[in-house]
Amino acid sequence: MSADSGSRELISVVVPSFNQGRWINECLHSLFAQADANLEVIVIDGGSTDSTLAVLEHWRPRLAACISEPDRGQAHAIAKGFALARGELLSWLNSDDMHLPWTIRAWRSAFSRDPSREMLHGNRIIMDASARVIGYRLLPGHSRFWLNRFPWTHQETAVWRRDLYQRVGGIDESLQFAMDYDLFARFFDAGRCAHCDEFLGVFRWHEQSKSATVQATVGAEEMRTVRQRRGVPDYARVHPLRMAMTSAVRVVTRVHTMRAHRVPKCLTATGFEVAQLWDKTPHVLRG
């Protein structure tokens, strides 16, 4: 593989969706507005009954595939999407989340610098239901030890090679919440994975999200199951480690957001609209 071949590889992004018509247009805009010629976007909708289908009709000419039918949940939808994907680099973006103007460019740059890399993940901006920034989450680097124990990896920022995905057996369709935690833990054990110290995705916190509705119930149980599968001690047995990791993330986040960033006057505060990041990045084409 040549040093710059990563910049030309087809990237496949799967967008699982169900009744999120309020946000899926922003999600798809954040992908296509990056104007990447070697990007394919696949939408797998679970048979939405809200405005989702009308939004998808608008984007359908630009989608590599668009399916709307009942499924067995989010993990099943993601697996269906990856089965259709043609790219050598794979990712998924939930339909209420967003990419940033430089996400795909940063991915390509990282894989070009190190073609042997198999998985990359980065830092997260957190927005509310109205796409206003309410916080940040930064990791102090990549550590298989820490990230196999705590679900800190930011799913919307992650991209990986098809070979790695196939090597670990793909996504576990039986999981409804912790499918990313489980998949990434297997990636970290089997592949060459790295953290990129850039904001690469925007996670939306809202009252209908799984993080708000089932994290403390189904989510907690599934994460416990994943840890048990991997022989990782439960939180109660590693409480000091958990607190240390939490403190490190908070300190790194605070220090980082006090520094100057590539987008002036935005990534040092909260309360602004994510759309401002696109306005302040004129070299990226808008949808």
Q: Is residue 151 part of a domain?
A: yes
Work out the mean pLDDT of the chain and round it to a whole number.
86
- Going by C-beta distance under 8 Å and a sequence separation of 6 or more, which residues neighbour residue 131? 26, 98, 202, 204, 273, 274, 275
Is residue 250 in a domain? Answer: yes
2, pLDDT greater than 50: no
Give how far Cα 256 sits from Cα of 80, 105, 197, 245, 261, Å: 38, 21, 10, 16, 9
Q: Is 127 helix (H, G, I), strand (E, B) or coil?
A: strand
Residue 227 lies in a domain: yes
β-pair partners for 176: none
- Of 80-94, 101-115, 146-160, 232-246, the least confident: 232-246
**Torsions phi, psi of 151, nearest 5?**
-80, 65
pLDDT band at residue 151 under the 50/70/90 scheme: confident
Position 123 in a domain: yes
Helices (H), the chain: 24-32, 52-59, 74-84, 103-113, 144-149, 162-167, 179-190, 210-213, 220-229, 239-257, 275-279
Residues 235-261: tens digit of each pLDDT: 555 567 767 777 877 787 777 666 655
Provide the domain limits for residue 127: 8-279
How does residue 119 score in pLDDT terms, banded at 50, 70 and 90? very high
Q: Considering the domain boundaries, does residue 95 fall inside one?
A: yes
Number of structural domains in the chain: 1
Residue 164, in any domain of the structure: yes
Q: pTM of the predicted model, to two decimals? A: 0.87
Whether residue 285 lies inside any domain: the answer is no
32-56 burial, b at 16+ Cβ within 10 Å, e below that, comes to bbbebeebbbbbbbbebeeebbebb
Q: Where are the alpha helices (DSSP H) in 2-48?
A: 24-32
pLDDT digit string (tens) for 83-95? Answer: 999 999 999 999 9
Amino acid at 287: G
Give the CATH number, domain containing residue 96: 3.90.550.10
Asked if residue 91 belongs to a domain, the reply is yes
